[in-house]
């Protein structure tokens, strides 16, 4: 599994049971739900789908934990001490719940996601305030599970039934989609069969399963009709996608991307996260053939040492990775490459680490994510000999991150003076400022009127930062017919 951990995010949804809604309509009240999302983009997508599943029950969002009648923690098991961090958060929620109880207000608490899958009933035992534990393959059952919890049962649902979930989630609530930004996620594949020795995902998400082509296309069409301009296809190992088409054929990710590129209004496609072993010719050629497939690829390698790659069970060598990068750049010379790196894996010597640094120098990344190895209970890596001391891991991580930062700065600098299309997604921190996304996934900040959110505009890159680009709007019109007006200078 090659998932890319992200910043913790909050997604707020409100769910109400049918009985609650009847009472709410009579009393003029609704109940509120607060969802906190941890981890990767797939968890962000799952939180959104929880919103969709609960939409028929009635919703009112809140970003105020103290105002919530229902709190759901959608958890991630990738991070170090992930479970302990969840228990710590539950301790804070317990205090909020106790304060609400003093004024006669109830609060239900649920734990979802991969920590829920891994810990199961242990969560209810250690944190009695939790009413509901639901794994990532079971959240489509939330309405009925919430009913059981409200009736007084301690609910733990961690069955693996991905097909049932995908079938249940075949439609998105259009009203919910309309509330979301013009860039959205769409899960097409879950689970992983690679069994890298550092990773818990095969145990928490299960074996690789792909959604059908029909389900994905239908969902993407509804998203595009609701104003979504860019979709990022998600999977624990997304380029292992092998979905069934309406005629019974099995499609790979390249063919799926070609079909999605035909959807009217869907102007940008991306996918993450990939494994080097599953980059087949058709997918590589899609980067040459599809204008809507953005020139960005997240392709984790984890280490540049063949010895460590073997110990990690990555099942490819550094030379195979180099040759794959050459093939990709041959069809898409301007592509921005991103990767994941783990330093301090058991047995990693100074030379092994230098091999990783050498690989980074040779490839040249536009960005990368790097982490110190931390053992995960139940994985082979946790019991390996030659665990690397913490101070050595810290020093290696600092050196690697400095090299990647230097490469990222150089890549950003290469965009200076360039005019590129930017998808404008939201308002910025400053008045009159919007934030968009370049084709290479860099944030772009510029002055522009708010009514251009959702449009794709020509932008000249006039300055660079460590992580962002700064642009100037070019006069013209986007393909929705909205003017790219250049704002007047501030007085």
* Residue 354 pLDDT exceeds 60: yes
Concatenating the DSSP letter of every residue in 11-67 gives E------HHHHHHHHHHT----EEEEE-SSHHHHHHHHHHHHHHGGG---B-S-GGG
Phi-psi region of 301 (alpha: psi -120 to 50; beta: other; left: phi over 0): alpha
Confidence of residue 490 (pLDDT cuts 50, 70, 90): very low
Q: Is 114 annotated to bind ligand?
A: yes
* pLDDT reported for residue 433: 96
* pLDDT reported for residue 9: 41
Per-residue CA distances from 201 to 1, 5, 208, 313 (Å): 7, 12, 10, 14
Cα torsion angle, 173, 179, 183, 185, sign: negative
pLDDT tens per residue across span 376-391: 878 899 899 999 999 9
Rounded to an integer, the average pLDDT of 99-126 is 87
Q: How far apart are CA 104 and CA 467, in angstroms?
A: 47
* Residue 488 pLDDT exceeds 50: no
Concatenating the DSSP letter of every residue in 447-479 gives E--GGGTT-EEEEEEEEE-SS-EEEEEPSSB-T
* Residue 443 pLDDT exceeds 90: yes
User: What is the rounded (10 degree) CA torsion for 432, 433, 434, 438?
Assistant: 140
- Buried b vs exposed e over 154-167: b needs ≥16 C-beta within 10 Å? ebbbbebbbeebbe
φ, ψ of residue 191 to 5 degrees: the values are: 85, 170
Q: How far apart are CA 483 and CA 449, in angstroms?
A: 10
Q: How far apart are CA 259 and CA 320, in angstroms?
A: 29
Environment class of residue 265 by beta-carbon count within 10 Å: exposed (0-12), middle (13-18) or buried (19+)? middle
* pLDDT reported for residue 121: 86
* pLDDT reported for residue 400: 98
Rounded to an integer, the average pLDDT of 419-423 is 96
Q: How far apart are CA 140 and CA 119, in angstroms?
A: 19
Q: How far apart are CA 433 and CA 448, in angstroms?
A: 6
Q: Is 199 annotated to bind ligand?
A: yes
Residue for token pair 């996620």: 185
3-state secondary structure of 368: strand
Per-residue CA distances from 443 to 77, 229, 413, 423 (Å): 27, 16, 14, 10
* pLDDT reported for residue 483: 55
* pLDDT reported for residue 24: 37
Helix (H) or strand (E) holding 114: helix 114-119
Q: Is 76 annotated to bind ligand?
A: yes
* Residue 29 pLDDT exceeds 70: no
3-state secondary structure of 81: coil
CB within 8 Å of 108: residues ≥ 6 apart: 69, 70, 71, 131, 132, 146, 149, 150
Domains of the chain: 9-159 (3.40.50.12160), 161-294 (3.30.750.210), 301-413 (3.30.750.200), 419-473 (2.40.50)
pLDDT tens per residue across span 261-294: 999 999 999 999 999 999 999 999 999 999 999 9
* pLDDT reported for residue 79: 63
Residue for token pair 């190992």: 237
Determine contact, residues 109/93, Cβ cutoff 8 Å: yes
Rounded to an integer, the average pLDDT of 328-353 is 97
* pLDDT reported for residue 162: 59
Concatenating the DSSP letter of every residue in 145-183 gives HHHHHHTT--EEE----HHHHHHHTSS--HHHHHTS-SE
Determine contact, residues 27/63, Cβ cutoff 8 Å: no
Asked if the bond preceding 369 is cis, omega within 30° of 0, the reply is no
Q: Is 420 annotated to bind ligand?
A: no
Rounded to an integer, the average pLDDT of 61-81 is 80
What's the whole-number average pLDDT of the chain?
85
Rounded to an integer, the average pLDDT of 208-214 is 93
- Buried b vs exposed e over 173-200: b needs ≥16 C-beta within 10 Å? beebbeebbbbbbbbbbbbbebebbbbb
φ, ψ of residue 264 to 5 degrees: the values are: -65, 130
């Amino acid at each position: 599994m090659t998932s890319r951990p992200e910043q913790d995010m909050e997604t707020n949804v409100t769910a109400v049971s049918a009985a609650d809604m009847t009472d709410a309509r009579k009393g003029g009240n609704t109940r509120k739900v607060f969802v906190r999302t941890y981890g990767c983009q797939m968890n962000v997508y799952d939180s959104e789908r929880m919103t969709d599943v609960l939409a028929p029950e009635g919703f009112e969002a809140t970003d105020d934990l103290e105002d919530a009648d229902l709190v759901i923690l959608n958890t991630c098991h990738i991070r170090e001490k992930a479970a302990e961090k969840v228990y710590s958060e539950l301790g804070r929620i317990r205090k909020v719940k106790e304060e609400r109880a003093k004024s006669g207000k109830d609060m239900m608490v649920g734990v979802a996601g991969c920590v829920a899958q891994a810990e199961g009933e242990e969560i209810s035992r250690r944190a009695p305030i939790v009413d509901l534990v639901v794994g990532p393959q079971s959240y489509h059952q939330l309405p009925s599970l919430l009913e059981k919890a409200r009736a007084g049962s301690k609910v733990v649902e961690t069955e693996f039934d991905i097909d049932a979930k995908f079938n249940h989630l075949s439609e998105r609530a259009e009203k919910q989609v309309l509330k979301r930004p013009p860039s959205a996620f769409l899960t097409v594949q879950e689970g992983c069969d690679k069994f890298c020795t550092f990773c818990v995902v095969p145990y928490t998400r299960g074996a690789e399963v792909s959604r059908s082509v029909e389900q994905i296309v239908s969902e993407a069409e509804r998203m595009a009709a609701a104003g979504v301009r860019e979709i990022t296809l998600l999977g624990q190992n997304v380029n292992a996608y092998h979905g069934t088409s309406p005629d019974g054929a099995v499609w790979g990710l390249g063919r799926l991307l070609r079909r999605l590129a035909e959807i009217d209004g869907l102007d940008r496609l991306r996918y993450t996260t990939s494994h080097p072993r599953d980059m087949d010719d058709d997918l590589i050629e899609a980067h040459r053939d599809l204008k809507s497939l953005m020139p960005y690829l997240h392709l984790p390698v984890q280490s540049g040492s063949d010895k460590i790659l073997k110990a990690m069970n990555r099942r490819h060598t550094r030379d195979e990775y180099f040759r794959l990068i050459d093939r990709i750049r041959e069809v898409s010379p301007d592509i921005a490459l991103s990767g994941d790196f783990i330093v301090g894996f058991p047995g990693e010597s100074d030379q092994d680490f230098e091999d990783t640094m050498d690989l980074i120098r040779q490839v040249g990344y536009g960005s990368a994510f790097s982490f110190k190895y931390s053992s995960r209970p139940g994985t082979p890596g946790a019991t390996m000999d030659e665990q690397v001391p913490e101070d050595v891991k810290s020093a290696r991580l600092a050196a690697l991150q400095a090299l990647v930062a230097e490469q990222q700065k150089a890549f950003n600098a290469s965009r200076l003076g360039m005019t590129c299309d930017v998808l404008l997604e939201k308002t910025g921190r400053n008045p009159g400022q919007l934030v968009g996304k370049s084709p290479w996934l860099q944030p772009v900040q510029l002055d522009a009127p708010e009514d251009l959110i959702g449009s794709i505009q020509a932008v000249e890159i006039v300055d660079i930062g460590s992580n962002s680009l700064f642009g100037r709007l070019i006069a013209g019109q986007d393909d929705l017919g909205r003017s790219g007006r250049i704002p007047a200078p501030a007085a």
